[in-house]
Amino acid sequence: MRLAACCLTGAILLWLGLSPALAKLPETMDELTARLAEEGTTPEKATHLWFEALYVFMSDDEETSQLGAEMMTALMCDPDWQKNLTTFLSQIAEKPYIAYSYPKGATPENDYQFDKNDFELEFTRSTKGPTDKDWTLFIKCSGADTPRPYKMKKSADGIWQMYEFSSLYVGVKKPASLQ
């Protein structure tokens, strides 16, 4: 009965355009791989995993940051995505709050504070691309006036992966403490 209630709650959250919160950031590649096999079957849940990997990547600890880079690579459609990473890294290094502007409840007024181990993302719409395996999704960003688009592709094994995300790391409103 409890499992059915959890599944129903997750289905309702997705129907409302929210990604269910998860217990904690992945700590190993094995953990991410297992979760990806389970949760990567919808673009919204795969997006949540991508943000989790991004937050691991943004760690101050070099080893943890490297693990986050490996996790992000596993979640990308193009395994060579890092060669095009310069702009992404410079934006995140200069303005880390850009990455923190997506979880529900993180706002410029509260300095984009949220619990990295328990957050939700809100999606406003999605559009199918030329095939069923190619989608553009729009995610709410509290630091911007409009939702941000990004693209995902479905792999041959049914797992959704990030394909194009340049709109996710453009400027947002500064946190209150920086204004």
Model pLDDT for residues 59-76, shown as the tens digit of each residue: 999 999 999 989 988 999
**pLDDT of 101 over the 50 cut:** yes
**pLDDT of 165 over the 50 cut:** yes
Range of the domain at 41: 2-15+23-178
Q: Name the percent of the chain lying above pLDDT 90.
A: 63
- Quote the CA–CA distance of 72 and 53 in Å, as a whole number: 6
State how many domains the chain has. Answer: 1
Q: Is there a contact between 71 and 29 (Cβ–Cβ < 8 Å)?
A: yes
Two structure tokens written together for 50: 């991508």
**pLDDT of 92 over the 50 cut:** yes
The pTM (predicted TM-score) of the whole model is: 0.84
Question: Cα 91 to the chain's mean position, in Å?
Answer: 16
With bands split at pLDDT 50, 70 and 90, how would you rate the model's confidence at 171?
Answer: confident
- Quote the CA–CA distance of 142 and 16 in Å, as a whole number: 17
